[in-house]
Amino acid sequence: MLKATHAVIKSVAQKLSLTEHEVEGLLAVDAAHEFEVSTTTGKKFPAWRIQHSKKRGPYKGGIRFHPNVSRTEVQALATLMSLKTAAVNLPLGGGKGGVSVDPKSLTEQELEEISRDYAKKLTPHIGPDVDVPAPDVNTNPKIIDWMADEYAKQTGDKTNASFTGKSLKAGGSAGRDAATGRGGVIVLSEVLNSAGIDNKEVRIAVQGFGNVGAFFATVAAIDRPNWKVVAASDSGATLTDEDGLAVADLAAFKNDRGSFRDYSMAEVSGPEAVLSADVDVLVLAALDGAVNSDNQSEVRARYILELANGPVTDKAADALTERGVTIIPDIVANAGGVTVSYFEWLQNKNNEKWTEEKVNKKLAEYLIPATTAMLEMAKIKEVSLKEAAMMVAIERLLAA
């Protein structure tokens, strides 16, 4: 992943005629903290926090708990965070953290212990104006609340601005749950608008109906009456209805029953079927590498919205672009989450509490210009939207 991330940066840098020194600066990290977290039951796990760049503001990025977490993965994700915050023009830098652990193998008490130990060991290197971590894969508001509480215990900090993604009662922001999905709706709308098709019927398939996919579909159903979600999948099944799926029903069913497999109000097929749905837009909100060299030829959509991180492999992206498919890249498409994290941090620092309406309005104020900047760059440089988003971000990082 790190090699692929560096390769993309180098290739974009070449098109921007950057010097070797500038490229080295983009690839280097400011600091890599490597340590061990442990439980009172004697379990130990390797842990990292990598701070890539604070040229534009405090390091920002999630903490991942997963057995496959490695130093190089964390470094790649930290680098991508610097690009994402710059692509959306947030006054933040990029960082990422992780613990190589399977949280399912831990008791609740052990989970709390490693979360607190992680925050305690990082305390000298983070803080509201230095590095503000957030949740990522397998971490959630409960875990972040423990970490923020531990940081406050260690430092006496009262701002609550040391971590974002906290529960509402611990200083979290309204609108954070829906932010990534809602952001996807805003970005897709701008792209379709620029192509002159936002006011026509737009048929959509959504892969992954978790937090991001379900909120994307729910917000789209309310805010964009001309968009129709005709296919949706989870890890067990794809549901299809040519007349449009009842999105609110699906979300409730998934909450109750956990899987789409037993849903009876639509056609049910295997989870892979969503990729070949006959739609205008394929929304990828499940896994990295979901569209790859083996299955890219099945995609029939003209647009792909990358709501997951890296859901289209680089090779597949080249083949799809050649076929005329427009891929709306993750660093802009799924930036709604980090944008509302930024709003949470601002609210905590200024002791404010914004309404959900204000959060949603401000989200659009960041994502619309970010999408426009990407579209304009793509036109000027005659490159893909992914390269264009990277170019916008890299130029901002170099100017900082």
Interface with ligand NAD (CB under 6 A): 137, 180, 207-213, 233-235, 271, 285-287, 307-309, 334, 337
In angstroms, give the least distance from the CB of 350 to ligand NAD. Answer: 23
Backbone phi, psi, residue 19, to 5°? -80, 165
Q: Which of 395, 372, 397, 396 is nearest to 385 (CA)?
A: 372
How near is the Cβ of 17 to ligand NAD at its closest, in Å? 31
What is the rounded CA–CA span in Å between residue 150 and residue 58? 20
User: What type of residue sits at position 41?
Assistant: T
Those residues with Cβ within 8 angstroms of residue 214's Cβ, 6 or more apart along the chain or in another chain: 181, 250, 251, 254
Nearer Cβ to ligand NAD, position 149 or 234?
Answer: 234
Q: Three-state SS across 66-88?
A: CCCCCHHHHHHHHHHHHHHHHHC
Q: Which is nearer to ligand NAD, 23 or 335 (CB)?
A: 335
**What is the pairing mode between strands 227-233 and 238-240?**
antiparallel
Of all residues in the shown chain, the one whose CB is closest to ligand NAD is 210
Residues 6+ apart with CB under 8 A from 263: 237, 239, 250, 253, 257
CB of 253: closest distance to ligand NAD in angstroms? 12
Catalytic member of 60, 96, 121, 228: 96
DSSP string, 360-393: HHHHHHHHHHHHHHHHHHHHHHT--HHHHHHHHH
Cβ-based nearer residue to ligand NAD, 23 or 286: 286
| 281 φ/ψ sector (left φ>0, alpha ψ -120 to 50, else beta) | beta
138 vs 160 by CB, closer to ligand NAD: 138
Whether 96 is a known active-site residue: answer: yes
Looking at beta carbons only, is 133 or 208 nearer to ligand NAD? 208
Measured from the CB of residue 370, what is the shortest distance to ligand NAD in angstroms? 14
Q: How far is the CB of 212 from ligand NAD (least distance, A)?
A: 3
Is the CB of 2 or the CB of 137 nearer to ligand NAD? Answer: 137
Helix axes 176-194, 356-381, angle to 10 degrees: 40
Residue 334 beta carbon to ligand NAD: minimum distance, rounded to whole angstroms? 4
Q: Which is nearer to ligand NAD, 212 or 320 (CB)?
A: 212
- For the bound state, the minimum distance from the C-beta of residue 286 to ligand NAD, rounded and expressed in Å, comes to 4
Q: Of 154, 260, 257, whose CA–CA distance to 217 is shortest?
A: 260
Answer positive or negative: Cα dihedral of 88, 90, 94, 95: negative
Joined tokens for residue 78 = 């930290």
| Nearby residues of 264 by Cβ (< 8 Å), 6 or more positions away | none
Task: Provide the 3-class DSSP secondary structure of residue 240.
Answer: strand
Identify the CA nearest to 213 among candidates 237, 240, 189, 247. 247
Parallel, antiparallel, or unpaired: how do β-strands 202-207 and 227-233 relate?
Answer: parallel
**Catalytic (active-site) positions:** 96
